[in-house]
Amino acid sequence: EEIRMHDQKVLFLKRLLLCFAVCDIMSCSEEDAMNYWSWPFPLASTLCHGGRILVHLEGVRCHNFLNLLLFGSSLAWNWQESVPPCLYQRRAATHAVRLKRNNVPQECRLQMRPSVFSGHHLGM
């Protein structure tokens, strides 16, 4: 079982990096979130040093995208029934994303409130 879970995580990371390579990684400064530029560093560095990545999906449901990353098929898991066994529900989160003016996403650190403990956060 441990080997199977390890292999699933490796495949998830491979699919995620392929997605980044095909879809292009963009970057912006916090001060000027309206101007984006292509990520100038090696692709693997996107997942290093505590960085966060916001995935912008157009015309793709988030559960279908997660299914593709986790299982290789967009319809592999019915999220209405439960969370896939390879994920676990976390009790809390420390960060969220909010929309600023002109629908510009901004990462924000959550304050200790009941919403932090909503149970809608996933880990692997």
| Tens-place pLDDT, residues 66-96 | 999 999 999 999 988 988 888 877 777 777 7
- In 10 A of CB 119, how many CB atoms? 10
**Residue 102: predicted pLDDT:** 74
Rounded to two decimals, the pTM is 0.76
Instruction: State the average pLDDT over residues 98-120.
Output: 69
**What does the pLDDT read at residue 31?**
63
pLDDT per residue over 23-63, tens digit each? Answer: 888 887 766 667 788 888 888 888 886 677 888 888 999 99
The rounded distance, in Å, linking the Cα atoms of 54 and 64 is 16
